[in-house]
Amino acid sequence: MINQHLYIKEEIVIPPYSGRSVLVRAGEELVIIDVEGKQVGDFVCFNYALPEEHVSPVHMRASLSSIRLKEGDYLYSNRRKPLMQMVKDTVGRHDFFFPACDYWRYKMDFNMEDHPNCHDNLRDALAKYQLDHLPIPDPINWFMNNALDENWDYVIEEPFSKPGDYVQLKALHDVVVAVSTCSQDMAPVNGFKVTSLKLQVLAQR
């Protein structure tokens, strides 16, 4: 995972039903690790120098001309500028269509008003960098396994990720990243169990 020219500058464990944020400087790399396997991570990313600019899945789909992510792909912003690049992926199946679950998702679809949700987890995590006043963009859902059936309808299945699987992203600008352990425990999204993720910031020696 880590080559000889990089070292772990910072490591953050994200507990179940929680979110955390971190500043990744240009040239540094961020590793998002699925600790126990089958855990989705909702991910948002802001330009530290210009927080109104953020990674935007809808612009990524247009710029990549694809609905899948692969090694070498850039994470494009709402200004169509690459903010990060995926340099390593041990899973190969992720989602950038679905919005973060929120209060209304659980209230309207599950009749639950007090269930933890990724929208609030991401907002709370961004308060560390005074970005919690901004709208939460649609996320990239790392490790989420959805597919299209024969009718082109979505089918969500358990993630392929195993314990220790990861994605590794290189920052092309100084960025603030927030990640939430997806809180959905009533559907196959996380294999019906919410577990931890780990973030590692790698810097040049």
What is the band of 2 on the pLDDT scale with cuts at 50, 70, 90?
Answer: low
Q: Which two tokens stand for residue 22?
A: 């971190």
Q: Percentage of the chain with pLDDT > 70?
A: 99
Asked whether the predicted pLDDT for residue 32 surpasses 90, the reply is yes
Closest CA to 196 of 16, 58, 8, 12: 16
Q: Which residue has the higher pLDDT, 110 or 34?
A: 34
Please classify residue 99 by burial: count the beta carbons closer than 10 Å to its beta carbon, then call 0-12 exposed, 13-18 middle and 19+ buried. Answer: middle
How far is residue 29 CA from its own chain's centroid? Answer: 14
Phi/psi at 145 (nearest 5 deg)?
Answer: -110, 95
Q: Are strands 6-14 and 197-204 parallel, antiparallel or unpaired?
A: antiparallel
pLDDT of residue 115: 83
Q: Are strands 175-181 and 74-76 parallel, antiparallel or unpaired?
A: unpaired
What's the Rg (C-alpha) of the chain? 16
Asked whether the predicted pLDDT for residue 187 surpasses 90, the reply is no
Please give the single-letter amino acid code of residue 110.
F
Asked whether the predicted pLDDT for residue 164 surpasses 90, the reply is yes
Residue pair 174/23 in contact (Cβ under 8 Å)? The answer is yes
Find which of 99-108, 170-179, 185-194 is predicted with most confidence, using mean pLDDT. 170-179
What is the band of 100 on the pLDDT scale with cuts at 50, 70, 90?
Answer: confident
Mean pLDDT of 16-43: 98
Mean pLDDT of 47-64: 97
pLDDT of residue 1: 54
> How many residues are given for the chain?
205
Asked whether the predicted pLDDT for residue 205 surpasses 90, the reply is no
* pTM, two decimal places: 0.94
